[in-house]
Structure 1
Amino acid sequence: WQRIRAEKIRERGVEHDIETRMIRKNGKTIDVGVSINVLKDAEGKIIGSIGIVRDISEEKRLKSQLTAIMEYSDESIYLVDRDTRYIIVNNALLNRLKLPRDEVIGKKFSEIHDEEETRVFVEKINEVFTTGKSTREEYRNSNLDRWFLRTYSPVKEGLTNEIIAVAVISNDITDLKNAELQLRESEEKYRTIFENSPVAIMLTDAEERLVSWNTHTEKLLGMSSEELNLRPISSLYPSEEWERIRSERIREKGVRYNFETKMIHKNGRYIDINLSLNVLKNQKGEIKGAIGIAEDITEKKQMERDIKLKEKSLDSSVNGIIFVDSQGYISYANLSFLEMWRYSSQKEVLGKPAVELWQYKREFLDIFYTAMEKGVLVSEFNAQRKNGEIFPVKLYASVVKDDNNNFSHLMLSFVDIGEQKRGEQKRIEYELKESLQKTKAIFENMPFGVVIIGRDKIVRDANKTALDILGREREEVVTHICHQIICPNGEGRCPILDLGKNSDKSEIVIIGRDGREISLLKTVKPINVDGEEMILETLIDLTEL
């Protein structure tokens, strides 16, 4: 009471928000804020006073907690006035600035920071004082080489609601920015690989129409993007080859590697390719399309093989070698050939039509006449042994001329590639499995929560960090609607799917399964996974900040 009297309110007539204490009936004291207005009559004589008393016990307790939070927070928290002078700062900011408190308090922002950072900071402070609304920005501190998310919030006077300062919280988001950068670099890397791959890569939709392809596809087929767009993939294969591909039941099996077939160039010629197919399915097992990789193997390593053939003697060659005359009959066969085709002697082979060595007789005629025309040929085909067994071989054909430079014989050299084919398939399967395991390990062990959501707002996947943040088991999250788990008040307000944004970053509060509030920094952006548009959400737990 003596302190209140010392304020000389009777002389001044009014005083607002005097912090003092009052005594309850039970004798306990409480913290209060008192505003007093002296009442006077027409002659100026004091006739009484009006006092407004606010219980500020809880307010003081909260202020005490806020002070503790500020001082022990890892994030920089500070208050500035309209002139951007520091009013209150916490230890985290002082540590970051490497300055003592007395060299910061009362200083303008511009006295400590560079011109560009000051310009942006002043704009944000003025925006808060003008609009009365919170705002935020991301910025990079060049001195620390770190990224920060700075949030600006108005601080208002209790009775008048006048903005008297701006509270600033600066969160270090360097790890998040680095993760985003790595994600973008990964996307760019795979796009670069896709476009610059030396093989044709094609993506079809559920109706088996071309929807995406790389530059090498256009080069391989001699077609423009307009000619390829939404073209039925079946039209790029000879009808008999397409039927052979369909007979493999790849849509049922899901994958097929190193399938040799033919495609049709724009000019009508056939292209021998080594084809690998992978069917794309959604979470329900429905086929959404397929990805195909086609390698042109028509003349692969032709010159290399020709040089090797010249260096080897026919009889000692590990390759099976035969000579075929102009009528297509075998006139010579080496030991490797006999062993490869399971013949016991040359007598069983000499004079035999070479076409009988092929599973598909038409292939022999194509090879025979093409080799005679071009002089050399490299191809692969399915051969037929004496006992009827079918096996894959690689063929090297070259024309042998007489002294007058006229055709004499066609030399055919064969390599059994059965083991190679099986080995390549096992290697590809192993590498794919290992790649998937590494990708899964990276996904599960990211230092922040990652949730992948379909355009139907159903959660498709979530990593362990996300499940730990949400305090839920995988089955409580995956296959559930996202706003029921992550954004309980966000139905119909998804920034990407409902509001049409390209990306979004916001702080949200959700209720965990145990009833506790969880504060999250959530980043949302659209992604494309195997041709399907999805939403990627990253979650950073701010609860302990």
Structure 2
Amino acid sequence: MKKTQKDIQAEIIEQLKEENEKLRKEIQEYSEIQEQNQGQSAELEIQNEELISTRYELELQNEELKRSQSEIEQLLNKFNMLFNFAPVGFLLISENYIIIDSNKIAAEFLNIPQRELIGKEISEVLHSSFKTFLDISIRKSQISVPTNIVINNNEESRHLRIDFRILENIIGTEKFILISLTDITMLQVIHQQLEESEEKFRSIFEQTPVGIYRTTPEGNFLLANPKLISMLGYSSFEDLHSINLEVEGYPLQEPRSIFKNKIEKLGEINGEINVWYRKDGGKIIVRESSKIVRDGKGKIKYYEGVIEDITEEEKLKETLNAIIRSLPDLLIIFDEEGYYLDIYTSNDSLLYAPREELLGKQINEIFSKELSSFFQKTIHSAIQGSKPIIINYELDVLGGKKFFEAIVTPIKIDAISDKQKVIFLARDITERKKIEIELVNANYEKDLFFSIIGYDLRDPITSLVTYADIFINYFDKLDKEQIKNYTMKVSEEIYTLKNLIEN
């Protein structure tokens, strides 16, 4: 039977449905397989990531191990350097006191080659008593107590301080003892010098001719040397210590608050002149220098000072000043460069200018070039010749134009100043100069007078001498008339002389 077109189409449609169903199943199977593959791939990716992470961690651990190994090597090198080159000697000994290891410094301290130290018992290199001390300390688990020994090397003594520490290995099955040797020779020398310095300080403190003190801000004496105690008339430090400067004020004349304000403002006081009271009420004049001593936080711990009794010195100075003030002369102290240092006079009219305008000034700032050069050369000549020089000069001073005679005397250099000085002592000789001028004028007038008199008297005297010669030599040959004439001429000349003398 022949298939119709419709049947053919139906068959084709049926075949297409079958193919489509088959294809759908294949797609479904493929999807299921794909889903399975995707699950496996995810697991593989997770495992791969875990492997990568593990590998990274292993690499980090490896780097850390390398770094740790490098640090251990560096630490070991540092330890070896410290052990061998440290300024401290090290001995490592076993429980039975045999030396296991040593550094170079220990060998040097003990004056034994480093190799020969290994294997020796500790008592062979250190004093035998140290082994006993070490044994007792270890058995009683006592903490190391430093001990000192003296090692004699090549006629030189070395002082060593010995410390030890007990060491154990990691599992605690074996003990070691590390002994350290420190050279304290220099410390011993310093300690000895310190003791000597303390002894010197004590000697100076007790025997110095000035008073030394320490006082608290509250006014109590912390320290006072014997000189200060006796200076203030007290019998002992305890007697002086009983005084409170803030309350009683003794031995200060001015309130202590003035002293505290001044020293806290300036930090120190140098050479200040004050009046202090003795226990018996008597006054002394003192030169005081003091400073503040603070702690690490800047708080005042105490005031420390020195006082010198200058009562007699001040009395002498006042006496000298009174003498100088009573002098009619002018006394000036110049240094070698011509600077006015001090001026003393009871008569300011002798000064070239007011003293406040002169003090501290140089000669060439005051006088003309010619006069300042004259004074400066005189000062230098006196210093270089080491002897006084006398000069005369005229100067227009505050009291008018005056004549002066000055003696310039060099002063020997003292320990305080390296500049030489001179004393310039000037005396007003104006009146004497006037008298000298008057005498010169009088002498001149006298000479002139005698010159005139001599000239006027020459002729009459010559005539008289002539007539006298005639009478002596020719008297017996003269007649009476001649004698009379000559006698009259002699009489005339005598009257002439008389008139000259009377006029």
- TM-score over 0.5 for the pair: no
TM-score, length basis structure 2: 0.43
* Structure with greater strand percent: 1
For the pair shown, which has the larger CA radius of gyration, 1 or 2? 2
* Structure with greater helix percent: 2
TM-score, length basis structure 1: 0.40
